[in-house]
Amino acid sequence: MAALRFVRTVWESFQTTSGLEPALLRNLKITAAQPGTVNLELEIQKEHTNRLGILHGATIASIVDSGGSLAVASRGLHATGVSTDLNVTYLNSGGKIGDLLRAEVTCDKFGKNLAYTSIKFTNIRDELVARGSHTKYIAMAWKDPKNIVDELSPREEKS
């Protein structure tokens, strides 16, 4: 529960301080989070579509970016670093206005300088729509006093 609460707090910060997220992804919902994994949902609206009336690839790319940041946040970093690269592969239509897009994003490797994330998108028919990856430079993020890395770190259980 600590990871979900923290990730939602970081997302609120994006919503109040960024220009892109509140304009394009204001209705992105964080449905679950645990250290290293975040689940997202987006009800597709007109601003998410292309001129064909289907989900725009740029919306998916934006979620790869923001989702990667939220996966880093799920490991306890409030400042989630800056992007060094981002990749998206589009496989199917994400849907049309009113459809629900789901995503699961994972922090695959979490180091002192870089964090590597991957994301998988599915449509309402549970078909794979797209997959992406995102690398974040996080060296400076470790200094943020709002971090809760120790609280969200895996601990060995004592026998």
| pTM given for the model | 0.92
Structural domain contains residue 154: no
Q: CA 61 to CA 13: how far, in whole Å? A: 20
- What is the domain range of residue 50? 2-149
pLDDT of residue 156: 47
Sequence-ordered list of residues with C-beta below 8 angstroms from that of 104, at least 6 positions apart, any chain: 37, 38, 39, 40, 119, 120
Q: CA 94 to CA 97: how far, in whole Å? A: 10
Structural domain contains residue 58: yes
Structural domain contains residue 48: yes
> What CATH number does the domain containing 17 carry?
3.10.129.10
pLDDT of residue 150: 86
The average pLDDT across 106-117 equals: 96
pLDDT tens for 70-104 read: 999 999 999 999 999 999 999 998 999 999 999 99
Q: What one-letter code names the amino acid at 79?
A: A
Q: How many domains does the chain have?
A: 1
The average pLDDT across 53-67 equals: 97
- Measured in degrees and rounded to the nearest 5, phi and psi for residue 122 equal -130, 150
Q: Is the pLDDT of residue 159 over 70?
A: no
Radius of gyration of the chain from Cα atoms? 15
pLDDT tens for 13-36 read: 999 999 999 889 999 999 999 999
Two tokens at 83? Answer: 């992007």
